[in-house]
Structure 1
Amino acid sequence: MAATSRGTPPVPPDARPRLTVLSGPSGVGKSTVVAHLRKEHPEVWLSVSATTRRPRPGERDGVQYFFVTDDEFDKLVANGELLEWAEFAGHRYGTPRGAVLRRLEAGDPVLLEIDLQGARLVRESMPDARLVFLAPPSWDELVRRLTGRGTESAEVIERRLQAARVELAAESEFDVTLVNTSVEHVARELLALVDVV
């Protein structure tokens, strides 16, 4: 099954780069696709999120995340400095608005990899953003990926599967759907969308 693109509008000749948002259910391979794309095309600018969680070993401030305190995060929210933010596992994560806007104003295409809730919030604040949904080849394949990690309890896996059902049902909210049958193929499809203004 090839990646499918639905709803990509014609490109005006004088258009500026758009924000491209990649989202999809847990376990579909968003991070893997983005990592492959950036390995092959490091010029693609990926927005770095701010988070209140502590750095893990090997993580560096400003590379994987901007690590901030709860008070600093509160100020970012209060000052409208985040495009979107959400709480997950007791920590908050958000996309700094300023860096994204500066890159777009400079003419650089910007890629953002976030969850469904974040994608909806970006759509509200930047209606011209291109929302890309990464779908699994099938429900059975998504179940295999989520259960195959072997690192989580049955209860956690069931919660993830319930969330995935909800996330899959949101596909129609997106501008384009890519089906993740091959990381290399989907990364090429995504690159083509990021490069389209």
Structure 2
Amino acid sequence: MAETHPHTGDRLHRRGLMFILSSPSGAGKTSIARAILESDDEISPSISATTRAPRPGEVDGKDYYFVSQPEFDRMAEENEFYEWAHVFGKSYGTPKAAIREALKQGRDFLFDIDWQGTQQLSQKAGTDVVRVFILPPSLDELQRRLIGRGTDSEKIIASRMARAQAEISHWDSYDYVVVNEDFDACLQEVRQILCAERLKRVRQTGLIPFVRELLKEEDEE
């Protein structure tokens, strides 16, 4: 991590960002997301609201916000979600309020969502969103990884492969595309993207007063 001047770093506030990672199942998105969250204390996982029941060990407000279907429908009706969808009979959505406030304080959020969710989020959050798509080195390798998990039947793997090709077709809707041929190299590239996006001038909300102060010092001299 680059060193910062102790006084300058305190003054140069920045706005947080919404960092989206998307990929076909098996391309490594979840492992990369986990590695980033474990090593970077400035970014948090986005917490979704859901109508499904908590699984053993899951905590309300930490893993998900568990809500009833009527409450979820009310939130959707009142535009309280950045994005939402019905998946396998249950509803999932990303609440706006807590994220909006945290972004102002410079907190980043990581989103593990598909192309459809990415489109919704981009439309509502604009420049706060950074979209990264992770590709497998080949479809054969993707299939090998899915089989190697040992968790899915042949039928489910075939379904995931068909869905993967549909998801890959949307690659050009993303700001960045990286190929996960080597996990460590791919992780490093994703970290570099996150670092560069944090340094973008438009996110440096403390730059204007800082530069004004510099110019004022010049005038005084």
Shorter-chain TM-score tier: 0.7 to 0.9
Runs of 4+ in 1 over 6 A off after TM superposition: none
Contact 2:143 2:157 in 1 (8 A): no
Q: Which has the higher helix share?
A: 2
Aligned counterpart, 2:148: 148
Q: Which moved more, 1:161-170 or 1:181-190?
A: 181-190
Aligned counterpart, 1:119: 118
Kindly indicate whether residue 79 of structure 2 is the aligned counterpart of residue 80 of structure 1: yes
Residue pairs, 1:37-56, within 5 angstroms:
37-56=36-55
* 1:186 Cα deviation after fit: 2.9
Aligned counterpart, 1:10: none
Q: Deviations over 1:137-176 (max 9, x none)?
A: 2211111122222332222221111110000111111010
Q: Deviations over 1:77-106 (max 9, x none)?
A: 011111111122221111111122112111
SS state of the match for residue 148, structure 1? helix
Aligned counterpart, 2:3: none
Relative to the length of structure 1, the TM-score reads: 0.85
* 1:15 Cα deviation after fit: 6.7
Relative to the length of structure 2, the TM-score reads: 0.76
SS state of the match for residue 94, structure 2? strand
Residue pairs, 1:1-197, within 5 angstroms:
16-128=15-127, 129-195=129-195, 196-197=197-198
* 1:42 Cα deviation after fit: 3.2
Q: Which moved more, 1:138-147 or 1:186-195?
A: 186-195
Cα distance in 2 for residues equivalent to 1:119 and 1:96: 14
Q: Which moved more, 1:78-87 or 1:182-191?
A: 182-191
Q: CA RMSD in A?
A: 2.0
* 1:124 Cα deviation after fit: 1.6
Cα distance in 1 for residues equivalent to 2:14 and 2:35: 27
Percent identity over paired residues: 37
Contact 2:42 2:107 in 1 (8 A): no
Query: Which structure would you say has the larger RCO, counting Cα contacts within 8 Å and 6 or more residues apart?
Result: 1
Contact 1:28 1:180 in 2 (8 A): yes
| Matched residue type, 2:175 | D
Cα distance in 1 for residues equivalent to 2:189 and 2:100: 24
Q: Deviations over 1:15-60 (max 9, x none)?
A: 7333221111122122211111111223312211111111111211
What number of residue pairs does the alignment pair up? 185
Contact 1:111 1:194 in 2 (8 A): no
Q: Which moved more, 1:171-180 or 1:121-130?
A: 121-130
Contact 1:110 1:194 in 2 (8 A): no
